[in-house]
Amino acid sequence: MPSFEELKLHLDNAGQSHVLGFWSELTEEDRDNFLSELSLLDLSELKAHCEGAAKAASGPSVRVEQHIEPLPEEFVGSIQRSEGSTLADWENEGLLQISENRVAVLLLAGGQGTRLGVSYPKGMYNVGLPSSKTLYQLQAERIRKIQELATLKHGSKCTVPWYIMTSEFTLKPTENFFKENHYFGLEPSNIIMFEQRMIPAVTFDGKIILQNKGKLAMAPDGNGGLYRAVMDNKVLEDMTKRGVEYLHIYCVDNILVKIADPIFIGFCVSKGADCGAKVVQKAYPEEPVGVVCRVGGVYQVVEYSEIQPETAALRGPGGGLLYSAGNICNHFFTRTFLQKVAQTFDGELTQHAAIKKVPFVDSDGNRIKPTKPNGIKMEKFVFDAFQFSRNFVAFEVLREEEFSPLKNADGVALDTPTTARHSLLTQHCRWAQAAGAILLDDHGNVHPTTSREKAEDNTPVKCEISPLVSYFGEGLEKLLKGKTVTTPFILDEKRAKELQSSVTLSNE
């Protein structure tokens, strides 16, 4: 660890000497902790980081109007527009790759649940399902189920390793949560948690913000911090040892995420892609989601704020939005592509400025909680690596089946615990009814068949299907066809065995 004098010299050279302004007031323990924190900074890049943050925050937003173009149709697959036999072929290819231990999933879980209003990692959140399952449990059980399906299909036991990128804020709580819950039935050695870097928040004039007299205001370096994190923590070496060739990368907050989706993986592998993105059709031109497109001939995600309203409203020959491929942070990478970006291109990724309210101590040492934005948190985005792909593809899926993020506390219209819960229960109602079940509501009335168009407008009946019973709606007809089901109803493994036994007895 560098000495106090060495750190002071680096801070002076970077124009950040104010960081040590309260040194004389710190206890010996606080000084040691502060020195440890300062020693973790990349001191060689500190000056450039602070100046770059101030510049990025003050500069105009980028406009891409002259160079933007929609995705070429030949590089876009679709759940809705593909033949059933084609989807089956892609699914079989994906299950084959999973069965041969070539597929891993990589979870981006370094952010805090600030907007959600909780002090713990989002993955630990319970949205109020009848089962009370958290996001982490749902995801773990989907991994278990897809391993089981691939094993049944190809006859050899397989493993889908789960890599989880955390941050200083989320690592320990996540480790403890998994341990307390016995890793949700997964083998602990196949869950690999690692930490992304933390970088200091700075003021609009490029000065590091002090959170306390002896602590910097730090923030994770965005989900694009993945590329440094896999190098820092030797994650690529672990993947290589396990024989992992393909990765499904996703964000923690999507309650409908189809983990290690064999159709998506099979599509990307069959196209020879090194990088792919799942997308959903934008609901309306002004919807605040990034758009997957091409700019200047290279693939990227353009933020909604970077596109003029008249461009966002353009329509294609079929009447749909020309720029309709909404990004949902759900990606396919080959391990080779991840390694190429991490080793060669990380330094070329765009630094994005997020303007935030950052608590700080003033020059008199008073703790201040700002009422308006006062600081800049710099971050990289995982999808900024698309530009380095040599064979990029996109895959369009149905929003109501695969995308319902949890971002805000209840009280707003979108992306809340209520909307996430309703999305999952509505999906499970569709599955049960498609399998031939008759669902009764709380009053004993037959629940009408749920239409896709109105799925989010109605409060769904409480019908929940465990991922351990069905990964994505398959296998339910033999359990539910012709059954009248009183809700609330949880179809877990125990209930599934009871239903299977009743079917067997009736057949006899």
- Of 395, 400, 401, 351, nearest to 376 by C-alpha is 351
What is the per-residue pLDDT across 206-239, written as a single tens digit (0 to 9) for each?
999 999 999 999 999 999 999 999 999 999 999 9
- Of 477, 476, 441, 432, nearest to 460 by C-alpha is 441
Residues 242 and 372 in one domain: yes
Distance CA 130, CA 257 (A): 19
Residues 219 and 284 in one domain: yes
Q: Which three-class secondary structure state does DSSP give residue 474?
A: coil
Distance CA 246, CA 262 (A): 11
Among left, alpha and beta (phi > 0; psi -120 to 50; other), residue 267 is alpha
Q: What is the pLDDT of residue 62?
A: 61
Total number of domains constituting the chain: 2
- Identify the domain containing residue 296 by its residue range: 68-402
Distance CA 255, CA 127 (A): 9
35 found inside a domain? no
Residues 252 and 156 in one domain: yes
β-sheet bridge partners, residue 353: 378
Q: Which three-class secondary structure state does DSSP give residue 113?
A: coil
151 found inside a domain? yes
* The domain boundary residue, chosen from 402, 433, 454: 402
Q: What is the pLDDT of residue 217?
A: 95
Question: Residue 491 CB: number of other CB atoms within 10 A?
Answer: 24
Asked if 341 and 388 count as a contact pair (C-beta separation under 8 A), the reply is yes
Residues 387 and 445 in one domain: no
CATH assignment at residue 474 = 2.10.10.100
pLDDT at residue 452 is higher than 50: no
Q: Which residues of 389-415 are buried (b: 16+ CB within 10 A; e: fewer)?
A: beebbbbbbebbbbbbbbbbbeeeeeb
CATH assignment at residue 150 = 3.90.550.10
Distances (CA, A) of 327 to 65, 307, 363, 439: 19, 14, 43, 34
Look at the pTM and tell me if it is higher than 0.85.
yes
Residues 183 and 230 in one domain: yes
pLDDT at residue 451 is higher than 50: no
58 found inside a domain? no
Distance CA 85, CA 110 (A): 39
What residues contact 262, with CB distance under 8 A and at least 6 apart?
A: 90, 91, 92, 93, 94, 95, 97, 98, 146, 149, 150
Residue type, 373: P
Token readout for 482 is: 């012709």
Distance CA 268, CA 444 (A): 46
Helices (H), 202-272: 226-232, 235-242, 262-270
Q: What is the pLDDT of residue 15?
A: 94
* The domain boundary residue, chosen from 371, 402, 433: 402
- Of 99, 97, 133, 123, nearest to 191 by C-alpha is 123
pLDDT at residue 456 is higher than 50: no
Residue/partner pairs of 35-44 with CB below 8 Å, 24 or more apart: 35/1, 35/4, 35/7, 36/1, 37/215, 37/216, 37/218, 38/2, 38/7, 38/11, 38/216, 39/1, 39/2, 39/7, 40/198, 41/200, 43/2, 43/7, 43/10, 43/14
What is the per-residue pLDDT across 178-210, written as a single tens digit (0 to 9) for each?
999 999 999 999 999 999 999 999 999 999 999
**Percent of the chain surpassing pLDDT 90:** 79
Token readout for 383 is: 């999808």
Question: Residue 449 CB: number of other CB atoms within 10 A?
Answer: 10
Q: What is the pLDDT of residue 61?
A: 59
Distance CA 116, CA 119 (A): 9
Residues 339 and 477 in one domain: no
Averaged pLDDT, 374-397: 96
pLDDT at residue 400 is higher than 90: yes
Distance CA 245, CA 265 (A): 11
429 found inside a domain? yes
Residue type, 149: L
Distance CA 349, CA 387 (A): 9
**HSE (side-chain half, CA atoms, 13 Å) at 494:** 2
Residues 398 and 464 in one domain: no
What residues contact 474, with CB distance under 8 A and at least 6 apart?
A: 149
Residues 324 and 453 in one domain: no
Residues 359 and 319 in one domain: yes
The DSSP string of 171-197 is HHHHHHHHHHTGGGGS-GGGEEEEE--
Distances (CA, A) of 22 to 15, 18, 244: 16, 8, 49
- Give residue 370's pLDDT band: very low, low, confident or very high (50, 70, 90): very high
Averaged pLDDT, 57-77: 81
Q: What is the pLDDT of residue 455?
A: 40
DSSP state of 341: I
Q: What is the mean pLDDT of the chain?
A: 92
226 found inside a domain? yes
Asked if 200 and 15 count as a contact pair (C-beta separation under 8 A), the reply is no
What is the per-residue pLDDT across 107-126, written as a single tens digit (0 to 9) for each?
999 987 878 999 899 999 99
Distance CA 217, CA 209 (A): 6
Residues 301 and 262 in one domain: yes
254 found inside a domain? yes
* The domain boundary residue, chosen from 370, 402, 434: 402
Residues 442 and 330 in one domain: no
Asked if 312 and 296 count as a contact pair (C-beta separation under 8 A), the reply is no
The DSSP string of 359-391 is -EE-TT--EE--SS--EEEEE--GGGGGGG-SS
Averaged pLDDT, 313-325: 92
Residues 397 and 475 in one domain: no
Q: What is the pLDDT of residue 471?
A: 97
407 found inside a domain? no
53 found inside a domain? no
